[in-house]
Amino acid sequence: MTVPEVKESVEMAVQDAATGQTKLTTTTTDFQRIRSVRQIPLEELYTSGHRTCQGCESAMVMRDFVKASGPRTVVTGSTGCMYVANTSYMTTPWIVPWMHTQLGAGGSSAIGMAAGLRALMRKGKIAKEKINVISFCGDLGGGDMGLGGISSALQTDLDLLVILYDNESAANTDIQATGMTTYGAQTTFTPPGKEHRIMQRRWKKNVAGMLAVGHPTCRYVATACAAFPPLDFLNKVRRALSVGGPTFIHSFDPCPKGWDYHPRYSHELGELGIRSGIFPLWEMENGKVTYTFDARKNRVPVREYLEKQGRFAHLIDEDYDYIQGMVDKMWDEWAIPGVIPFLPAQTPVTVAQAGSAAAEDPAAGEGSADEEA
């Protein structure tokens, strides 16, 4: 079997011919696109010996991203399942250098790691070469607590990739709801009862969307699922590292323990989540959004995905209808499903336009004054 080598066009440091000064630039790494399973690197850089649950898709995310990035990679990971289960006392499945960081520090530790490498290279303490800096964080650590740090990371000029692995709960502390838990799901924070059948009433936070539209200098943001479509996640990791600069990927990770299903169905649930459209797959590169699975047509009913999980066992017909309606609305009415919730027919109004409209219609101003009074 021929496994193509990863090509790297490395130029981390350049010497200015006129001044003799060394300048560091954001460089790109030309990773080859993986077109078939035969081209997936055989080398394992996240090995056996960890203690994640059987069927854990987040463990697949770890294994896949470091396979895609290769051995010249350093990893930082914030507290969560992928920290706790991967670091039993004095053991680790990581072959590449790995560092633990605080729960909300996924973004800031990536900044520190990338900036530290840059400084060491500038000072000649280590060889000048392309080293991939990848930070991972969970949905609580990255999507809720650490969002500010990730936002800061995406405003730097450093080469780093943040991967948010989303199992839709704080899984390592016994399945508490987060801002990214699906509407209606049972968690230890949101147990269904006689008075209130639905305790998780929030719609899933659109983290990748808000990072994509809010950070114009970030050149690559994507959503992904390690289970489906095949090779998609591996290639998105390579694409992010090739584009360079600060980049972000949000992965959708079925979790047998938290979602309450038999571990053998992890891949199937990942695929159903994508095919039902409840988790849109897309990538934004240099401001252009493309769908890597287009669920605008031929969506699988979301009930097929929900009914296979014990966390939704308390839902009744009207709940399934509500969730289906929300998914349909996103795909049928949003300007960019899963990214921008403006209706296509509406043109956003600028602050200046809103001000001039108020000036032309004094009654509008009087009305608001009355309300204040």
Please report, as ranges, the residues that interact with ligand SF4 according to CB under 6 A: 52-53, 56, 58, 81, 85, 167, 171-172, 255-258
CB atoms within 10 A of CB 175: 24
> From the list 139, 159, 232, 253, which residue makes contact with Mg ion (rule: CB under 5 A)?
139
CB of 186 to Mg ion, least distance (A): 15
200 or 292, CB closer to ligand SF4? 200
> In this chain, which residue has its C-beta nearest to Mg ion?
138
Binding positions for Mg ion, 158-177, rule CB under 5 A = 167, 171
CB of 140 to Mg ion, least distance (A): 5
The CA distances from residue 70 to 66, 77, 130, in Å, are: 6, 17, 11
SS3 22: strand
52 or 178, CB closer to ligand SF4? 52
The CA distance from 323 to 338, in Å, is 15
Residue 256 binding: pick among ligand SF4, Mg ion, none (C-beta 5-8 Å cut-off by kind): ligand SF4
The CA distance from 62 to 58, in Å, is 6
CB of 81 to Mg ion, least distance (A): 7
The CA distance from 112 to 198, in Å, is 41
CB of 210 to ligand SF4, least distance (A): 23
Scanning 114-122, 135-143, 202-210, 302-310 for contacts with Mg ion by CB under 5 A, the matching segment is 135-143
Residue 76 binding: pick among ligand SF4, Mg ion, none (C-beta 5-8 Å cut-off by kind): none
Burial class (CB in 10 A: 0-12, 13-18, 19+), 120: middle
* 365: phi then psi, degrees, rounded to nearest 5: -65, -40
The CA distances from residue 257 to 35, 263, 270, 310, 348, in Å, are: 33, 8, 15, 10, 43
The answer to whether 295 and 239 are in contact (CB under 8 A) is: no
The position carrying tokens 């090779």 is: 231
Residue 85 binding: pick among Mg ion, ligand SF4, none (C-beta 5-8 Å cut-off by kind): ligand SF4
Structure tokens at 1: 């079997």
CB of 144 to Mg ion, least distance (A): 10
60 or 117, CB closer to Mg ion? 60
CB atoms within 10 A of CB 92: 14
The CA distance from 294 to 336, in Å, is 11
CB of 142 to Mg ion, least distance (A): 9
Residue 52 binding: pick among Mg ion, ligand SF4, none (C-beta 5-8 Å cut-off by kind): ligand SF4
69 or 167, CB closer to Mg ion? 167
Residue-wise DSSP of 201-221: -PPPP-HHHHHHHH-TT--EE
61 or 281, CB closer to Mg ion? 61
75 or 243, CB closer to Mg ion? 75
Please report, as ranges, the residues that interact with Mg ion according to CB under 5 A: 138-139, 167, 171
